[in-house]
Amino acid sequence: MINSMYYSCLVNLYPFSINFTENSIYTASNMIVYLYIDTNLMASPSFDIRELGKLREMLWHVQQMARIGNWITTRKRELKEGDFTSGVFAYALSNNILKHDELGRLDDHEIIKRIEDSDIIKQLLFIV
């Protein structure tokens, strides 16, 4: 989670460093799914520890889905706040829908229009 916050800070300080691969790796940890579940497992004596590998693999997918859901639902608010850490922006940059210098220069409505005119949201929903 700390690495996720550090990455987000760096991206907002240096928007030219945004890329979809790192964004996908680092920001998903901010959903802290593993922390919540591990805490619950400590209080679950009936959990079969032999299922831990399968559970953690499933949790990875849960965490990715939660992250993508967060990206999609908060992107407009984050854009208004000047927060470009959403994977929506990273995906738009990686696919040449936006350019790095346009993030701080273009009107929010133009950025939203380009994203909505593309198929970014649909593609993100089918990544995991």
- Dump pLDDT digits (tens) for 50-78: 999 999 999 999 989 999 999 999 999 99
Give the helix ranges, DSSP H, for the chain. 2-13, 20-27, 33-42, 52-80, 87-94, 100-105, 108-117, 120-125
Residue 80 confidence (pLDDT): 92
Residue 69 confidence (pLDDT): 92
Distance from C-alpha of 36 to C-alpha of 16, rounded to nearest angstrom = 33
pLDDT in tens, 78-127: 999 989 999 999 999 999 999 998 988 999 999 999 999 999 999 988 87
User: What is the model's pTM?
Assistant: 0.82
Secondary structure letter of residue 17 according to DSSP: G
